[in-house]
Amino acid sequence: MSTQATPSNTEARRAFYERIDRHHLTPLWESLHALVPLHPQSRALPALWRYADVRPFVLESAGLITAQEAERRVLVLENPGLRGQSSITQTLYAGIQLVMPGETAPSHRHTQSALRFVLEGNGAYTTVDGERTLMQPGDFVITPSWTPHDHGNASDAPMIWLDGLDIPLLRFLDAGFAEGFGGRIQQPERPVGDALARYGSGLLPVDYDGRHGVTSPVFNYPYARTREVLEQLRRAEQWDACHGLKLRYTNPVTGGFAMPTIGAFVQLLPQGFETAPYRSSDGTVYVCVEGSGESVVGGERYRWGPRDVFVVPSWTTHHHRPAADAVLFSFSDRPVQAAFGLWREERFDQEGA
């Protein structure tokens, strides 16, 4: 039915529409083609944020507002097609957060789930629900919904990371709640590395109670481990035509996605490997971890290097071409779409076409 053209707007119909408008009614047939499209028609646009361009502004913000005053000193990456909405895709938020040496960002909690992907700095920390973890470049850190969390930097250099949250999704659902703790910082209740040791080795405590729900109980996935796994799997030479070698971060308890609303992924693209064109219904945010290359997204060419961020909107054809061995981290709303049976992909490689 969505293939039908919009009916002509006659004078009699316009008069009818004006009368029913006073009763808060509107004709479906005037907007059916937009409400039930043949394929996703996202307002989000492809875009790239070069770290070299963004970093000076991030550091400049430290002279304008303290971490305590701001609560979270972040510059939001706004999609050019969604300006004013603090969104990088229709369902996801992204921002660059800065904690300067000696600073702390006070403890709070909210129903929005969050991830941190560390871009720069060593030795700063985040404390999540009573456990502190040190943050290193390339680490993927989770803050589950409604868990207290704070950040601090005891090092002598700025700490900068990419935030990814499901803020637009929860805003749409009217399900946002938040609570502060009077500027306090949590006192760790468990030693550094406890969650990874307890849950990340293929073993679980015999009385595991699932207190984190559907979110992974491992909240820091160190990049050193991730990189080692990529190198081990590289030896198998089982490259996917559309993804190279792509893995998803998982919840060790369920085997599913590490977060219920945000899927996180990492992929290795070897030098000389160009991926086949591909598209999927989940809008995806990419970060270059290592190497350099370019991606063609919706016909536009974007060249990227370490710490650069770019976004591929829903159902937008794209492919990657690394200039040297490259590692990309990415996140999307795929878990939500998959849970409702909505996620789709289209491959243009010979095998999947």
Cβ-contact 126, 136 below 8 angstroms = no
User: Do 300 and 208 sit in the same domain of this protein?
Assistant: yes
pLDDT at residue 297 greater than cutoff 90: yes
Is 295 part of a structural domain of the chain?
A: yes
Pick from 306, 307, 305: nearest CA to 294: 305
With respect to residue 158, please indicate whether it lies within any of the assigned structural domains.
Answer: yes
Whether residue 265 sits in one domain with residue 205: yes
Is residue 196 in some structural domain?
Answer: yes
The whole-number pLDDT of residue 100 equals: 97
pLDDT of residue 352 exceeding 70, the answer is: no
Residues 29 and 123 occupy one common structural domain? no
Q: Does any domain span residue 353?
A: no
My answer on whether 286 and 158 are in the same domain is yes
Q: Looking at the structure, do residues 125 and 233 belong to the same domain, yes or no?
A: yes
Domain count for the chain? 2
Phi/psi-derived region of residue 24, left when phi > 0, alpha when psi is between -120 and 50, beta in every other case: left
Separation between Cα atoms, residue 276 and residue 237, nearest integer Å: 17
Which residues 6+ apart lie within 8 Å of 207 measured at CB? Answer: none
Residue 220 lies in a domain: yes
Q: Compute the distance between CA of residue 101 and CA of residue 155 in angstroms, rounded to an integer.
A: 6
104 & 178 share domain: yes
Say what the pLDDT of residue 5 is. Answer: 64
Query: Is 140 in the same domain as 29?
Result: no
Does any domain span residue 200?
A: yes
Domain assignment present for residue 300? The answer is: yes
User: Per residue in 263-282, pLDDT tens?
Assistant: 999 999 999 999 999 999 99
Look at residue 2 and tell me whether its pLDDT is greater than 60: no
Instruction: State the chain's mean pLDDT as an integer.
Output: 94
For 232, phi then psi, to 5°, come to -65, -45
Q: Which pTM was predicted? A: 0.94
Q: Tens digit of pLDDT for each residue in 22-80?
A: 999 999 999 998 899 999 999 999 999 999 999 999 999 999 999 889 999 999 999 99
Neighbours of 201 (CB within 10 A): 10
172 shares a domain with 286? yes
Does residue 352 form part of some domain? no
Q: Is residue 29 located within the same domain as residue 111?
A: no
Same domain, 13 and 72: no
Q: Which two tokens stand for residue 304?
A: 């990227």
239-264 per-position pLDDT tens digit: 999 999 999 999 999 999 999 999 99
Segment 111-128 mean pLDDT: 96
Please tell me whether residues 105 and 25 are part of one structural domain: no
* Structural domain of 14: 1-38
Give the tens place of pLDDT for each residue, 173-215.
Answer: 999 999 999 888 888 888 888 899 888 888 888 888 776 678 9
Domain of 247: which CATH number? 2.60.120.10
Percent of the chain topping pLDDT 70: 97
Checking if the pLDDT of 1 tops 50, the result is: no
